[in-house]
Amino acid sequence: MTDSHSARSAVESAAREYYGRLIAFLSARTRDVASAEDALSEALLAALASWPETGIPKSPEAWLLTAARRRLVDRARHEKMRAGSALTLEVIASESFHVSPPGPFPDERLKLLFVCAHPAIDPDMRTPLMLQTVLGLEGSEIARAFLVPPATMSQRLVRAKNKIRHAGIAFEVPEPRELPERLEAVLDAIYAAYGNGWEDAAGVDTRGRGLTEEAIWLARVLLEVMPNEPEVQGLLALMLHCEARRSARRSSEGHFIPLSDQDTNRWSLVMIGEAERLLAHAATFARPGRFQLEAAIQSVHAERARTGYTDWHAIALFYERLVQLSPALGAVVAHAAAVAEVKGAQRGLELLNTIDSRAVTSYQPYWAVRAHLLKGMNRYGEAVEAFDRALGLADDAAVRRQLLDRLTEISRF
Amino acid sequence: MKYALLIYENPEAWAQRDQVGDTEYFGAWRAYYRSMVDAGIYAGGDPLHAPETGTTVRHRDGRKQIQDGPYANTKEQLAGFIVVELPSLDAALEWASRCPATAVGAVEVRPLAPEQKRRVTCGDD
């Protein structure tokens, strides 16, 4: 007999630790993620019911696997009556699917991550799929983070899982020649969970949408199964650097504090330390990439906690390489802001002016940086106009307030 | 698994069909077909006549409507289909990407649905 409280926490911790591994293993051969999820949630319920009676098994994950597997077999037998799930039945009846507890079972999570970020999957659905299948997040939680109605998100997740199954997307690690592109899709999907737009050097640092911990968790899973890809380390380092500043990003009144004004005493040295170690290890591979460069830029910012100043020269150089590597709008704008710090607002503005104006009509950071630079050049009339645009495009109340403060400063001139 | 490669062509590609002799496009198709047969993945298919040879039938409000022309009025039109037998979507996408029509139109890869067919045929294929 185990008391129900410790049985419950044993189920919870087994679910937390093994959810993704179990889903990946159960669906890798059948390609049927939805059935694997159903089977696992039934197995978890069964564990909640029986572990208080029978005690916590020596190998909870093997217990869950056996229970989930039994449910998959039952279900496939039942479905065979109606439609052909011959593949499923054949696969789960096969030897490869048998694991004798407490033996370990293969970790197929990397394949699952590649399936979720497969080019045949709608890019908007890659992150939600990962969050659900690898981390076990509920559809409603994911819906909240992505600001869509829960029913809509559930529907889209079902459609994506149907596509994986019916289109026959294989659970495979891509071939070497496809790997860089496919890995980038995985990294992009994980980074999308973190939330975009925080890295703007000029201080239009907006918050993530509450999935930051999950994104870091996904990156840790990826690092565990792919320890020799420097970009994976780069991504995790980048997110840790940003996360290290979380509590410094808002004042006690909830006001937004741009990076350059943040109190470095409120940065997490533990996270910065881990990010630095990851980045240093990534560098030993001598295969630079987008995420390593972005992490390196954040690493320079983090140095301020030690040295008391920001080496904008280094930041401008890293941004220059980043723009060469992947000329995303965010990187171009941030490069301009960094150049302005080194060579003056005039040079920064010249770089901003090289961007196609159609690309920036609704890109808030561009207008925030532009306003900041014009203000620095005492071109107040144009600065007010740019502040207005930045203000109108801001989607965060704290950012709006900060812009409003700056605008009020100008109007005193 | 069986996949249908649905071939869509633009008007310029259609126009090539009327040219006498071998064009580069036709040569590419011949080589593509051969490589599928050699790889043992080809399971059938045919090109279609031009979209204007199509006739579309509907029943609406109890009346049969017959209309000249294809179902969808788009620039790129269904030009043919190929059925291939392959282990995964990635393998099918790889074969689709070799198809000459991808340069002048597009190829949609769709899995066949044998379980639906079994429902219709009551099990006898």
Note the pLDDT tens digit of each residue in A169-210.
999 999 999 999 999 999 999 998 887 434 333 333 444 446
Asked if the Cβ–Cβ distance from A170 to B87 is below 8 Å, we say: yes
User: Going by C-beta distance under 8 Å and a sequence separation of 6 or more, which residues neighbour residue B72?
Assistant: none
pLDDT given at position A313: 96
What mean pLDDT, rounded, does chain A reach? 88
Vertex A164, ends A163 and A169: CA angle to 5°? Answer: 125
pLDDT given at position A86: 55
Q: Is A198 helix (H, G, I), strand (E, B) or coil?
A: coil
Question: Does residue A315 lie in a domain region?
Answer: no
Nearest to B111 among A85, A118, A168 (CB): A168
| Domain range for A63 | 1-106
Whether residue A12 is predicted with pLDDT greater than 60 in this model: the reply is yes
Are residues A99 and A218 both part of a single domain?
no
Asked if the Cβ–Cβ distance from B111 to A166 is below 8 Å, we say: yes
Asked if the Cβ–Cβ distance from A169 to B119 is below 8 Å, we say: no
Task: Looking at the complex, report in whole angstroms how far the Cα of residue B74 sits from the nearest Cα belonging to chain A.
Answer: 23
Q: Any bridge partners for residue B8, and if so which?
A: B78, B106
Are residues A101 and A114 both part of a single domain?
no
CA nearest A170 in B: which residue? B88
Round to whole Å and give the CA distance between A42 and A51. Answer: 14
Residue with tokens 């500043």: A245
**CATH label of the domain that carries residue B9:** 3.30.70.1060
User: Going by C-beta distance under 8 Å and a sequence separation of 6 or more, which residues neighbour residue A12?
Assistant: none
> pLDDT digits over B98-111, tens only?
999 998 899 999 99
Asked if the Cβ–Cβ distance from B1 to A170 is below 8 Å, we say: no
Are residues A102 and A136 both part of a single domain?
no
% chain B with pLDDT above 90? 60
Are residues A242 and A291 both part of a single domain?
yes
Asked if the Cβ–Cβ distance from A167 to B115 is below 8 Å, we say: no
Sign of CA dihedral B49, B116, B38, A178: positive
> pLDDT digits over A334-377, tens only?
999 999 999 999 999 999 999 998 888 888 999 999 999 999 99
Asked if the Cβ–Cβ distance from A168 to B119 is below 8 Å, we say: no
Both tokens assigned to A368 = 């925030």
Both tokens assigned to A21 = 């591994």
Which one of B90, B119, B122 makes the best mutation probe of the A interface by having the most chain A beta carbons within 10 Å?
B90
pLDDT given at position B11: 87
Helix (H) or strand (E) holding A270: helix A269-283
pLDDT given at position A310: 94
% chain A with pLDDT above 90? 67
Question: Does residue A128 lie in a domain region?
Answer: yes
Q: How far is CA B56 from CA B64, B75, B108, in A?
A: 11, 17, 22
Residues of chain B contacting A170 with CB distance shorter than 8 Å: 87-91
Asked if the Cβ–Cβ distance from B90 to A83 is below 8 Å, we say: no
Give the pLDDT mean for A134-158. Answer: 90
Nearest to A167 among B87, B111, B118 (CB): B111
Secondary structure E strands in A4-63: none
Are residues A152 and A269 both part of a single domain?
no
Q: How far is CA A173 from CA A112, A170, A192, A301, B92, in A?
A: 9, 9, 21, 35, 16
Nearest to A83 among B3, B87, B115 (CB): B115
Query: Given A307, A334, A357, which residue is the final one in a domain?
Result: A307
Are residues A303 and A189 both part of a single domain?
yes
pLDDT given at position A183: 96
Question: Does residue A409 lie in a domain region?
Answer: yes
> Is A107 exposed, middle or buried, given 0-12, 13-18 or 19+ CB atoms closer than 10 A?
middle
Indicate left, alpha or beta for A232 from its phi (over 0: left) and psi (-120 to 50: alpha).
alpha
pLDDT given at position A81: 62
pLDDT given at position B121: 85
Round to whole Å and give the CA distance between A76 and A81. Answer: 9
Query: Measured between CB atoms, does A172 come within 8 Å of chain B?
Result: yes
Asked if the Cβ–Cβ distance from B115 to A84 is below 8 Å, we say: yes
Task: Looking at the complex, report in whole angstroms how far the Cα of residue A162 sits from the nearest Cα belonging to chain B.
Answer: 12
> pLDDT digits over B22-59, tens only?
788 888 999 999 999 999 999 999 999 989 889 999 99
Are residues A102 and A112 both part of a single domain?
no
Question: Does residue A393 lie in a domain region?
Answer: yes
Question: Does residue A319 lie in a domain region?
Answer: no
Query: Given A173, A190, A217, which residue is the final one in a domain?
Result: A173
Q: How far is CA B78 from CA A32, B9, B50, B54, B73, in A?
A: 31, 7, 9, 11, 11
Burial A265-286 (b: 16+ CB within 10 A, else e): eebbeebbebbbebbeebeeee
Count of domains in chain A?
4
ipTM: 0.77
Q: What amino acid is encoded at A65 in this protein?
A: L
Question: Does residue A320 lie in a domain region?
Answer: no
Task: Work out the end-to-end distance of chain A between its first and last CA atoms, rounded to an integer number of angstroms.
Answer: 76
pLDDT given at position A207: 43
CB pairs under 8 A between A and B: 33
pLDDT given at position A14: 93
- Residue A294 near residue A322 (C-beta atoms within 8 A): yes
pLDDT given at position A103: 56
- DSSP letter (8 states) at residue A121: S
> What is the side-by-side strand order in the sheet with B42-47?
B42-47, B77-85, B2-9, B105-111
Give the pLDDT mean for A21-45. Answer: 94
Give the pLDDT mean for A204-218. Answer: 68
| Tally of CA atoms within 13 A in the half-sphere of A124 that contains its CB | 10
Among A220-224, A235-239, B73-77, which is the least confidently predicted range? Answer: B73-77
Residues of chain B contacting A85 with CB distance shorter than 8 Å: 115
- Residue A23 near residue A36 (C-beta atoms within 8 A): yes
Asked if the Cβ–Cβ distance from B88 to A84 is below 8 Å, we say: no
Asked if the Cβ–Cβ distance from A169 to B90 is below 8 Å, we say: yes
Nearest to B119 among A83, A85, A118 (CB): A83
Residues of chain A contacting B107 with CB distance shorter than 8 Å: none
Asked if the Cβ–Cβ distance from B89 to A84 is below 8 Å, we say: no
Are residues A224 and A270 both part of a single domain?
yes
Residues of chain A contacting B124 with CB distance shorter than 8 Å: none
Higher pLDDT, A211 or A72: A72
Round to whole Å and give the CA distance between A193 and A209. Answer: 8
| Domain range for B48 | 2-121
Residues of chain B contacting A172 with CB distance shorter than 8 Å: 88, 90
Are residues A364 and A256 both part of a single domain?
no
Asked if the Cβ–Cβ distance from B89 to A168 is below 8 Å, we say: yes
Query: Given A57, A83, A106, which residue is the final one in a domain?
Result: A106
Whether residue A80 is predicted with pLDDT greater than 70 in this model: the reply is no
Name the phi and psi angles at B41, rounded to 5: -110, -10
Nearest to B88 among A83, A84, A170 (CB): A170
> Would you place residue A267 in the very low, low, confident or very high pLDDT band (cuts 50, 70, 90)?
very high
Asked if the Cβ–Cβ distance from A168 to B118 is below 8 Å, we say: no
Asked if the Cβ–Cβ distance from A172 to B90 is below 8 Å, we say: yes
Give the pLDDT mean for A7-16. Answer: 92
Round to whole Å and give the CA distance between A251 and A267. Answer: 13
Round to whole Å and give the CA distance between A80 and A356. Answer: 58
User: Going by C-beta distance under 8 Å and a sequence separation of 6 or more, which residues neighbour residue A80?
Assistant: A86, A89
**Prior bond of A102 cis (ω within 30°):** yes
pLDDT given at position A340: 96
Residue with tokens 């890295």: A199
Both tokens assigned to A400 = 């709006």
Residues of chain A contacting B93 with CB distance shorter than 8 Å: 119-120
Question: Does residue A316 lie in a domain region?
Answer: no
Asked if the Cβ–Cβ distance from B1 to A83 is below 8 Å, we say: no
pLDDT given at position A23: 96
Question: Does residue A358 lie in a domain region?
Answer: yes
Give the pLDDT mean for A2-21. Answer: 89
> pLDDT digits over B55-89, tens only?
999 999 999 998 888 988 888 999 999 999 999 99
- Residue B32 near residue B124 (C-beta atoms within 8 A): no
Name the phi and psi angles at A399, rounded to 5: -65, -40
pLDDT given at position B20: 77
Say what the alpha-carbon torsion angle A212, A213, A217, A218 is, to the nearest 10 degrees.
-30
CA nearest B119 in A: which residue? A83
pLDDT given at position A198: 43
Are residues A360 and A252 both part of a single domain?
no
Three-state SS across B10-31? Answer: CHHHHHHCCCCCCCHHHHHHHH
Q: What amino acid is encoded at A232 in this protein?
A: V
Residues of chain A contacting B89 with CB distance shorter than 8 Å: 118, 120, 167-170
> Would you place residue A325 in the very low, low, confident or very high pLDDT band (cuts 50, 70, 90)?
very high
Residues of chain B contacting A84 with CB distance shorter than 8 Å: 114-115, 118
pLDDT given at position A206: 44
Residues of chain A contacting B114 with CB distance shorter than 8 Å: 84
Tally Cβ neighbours within 10 Å of residue A154.
18
Q: Is A139 helix (H, G, I), strand (E, B) or coil?
A: helix
Count of domains in chain B?
1
Give the pLDDT mean for A42-62. Answer: 94
User: Going by C-beta distance under 8 Å and a sequence separation of 6 or more, which residues neighbour residue A222?
Assistant: A110, A113, A186, A187, A190, A232, A235
Which A residues 78-117 touch B at CB under 8 Å? 83-85
> pLDDT digits over A83-130, tens only?
555 556 566 666 555 555 445 788 999 999 999 999 999 999 999 999
Of A75, A3, A14, A81, the residue nearest A39 (C-alpha): A75
- Residue A63 near residue A47 (C-beta atoms within 8 A): yes
Round to whole Å and give the CA distance between A371 and A404. Answer: 12
Of A172, A30, A170, A32, the residue nearest A94 (C-alpha): A30
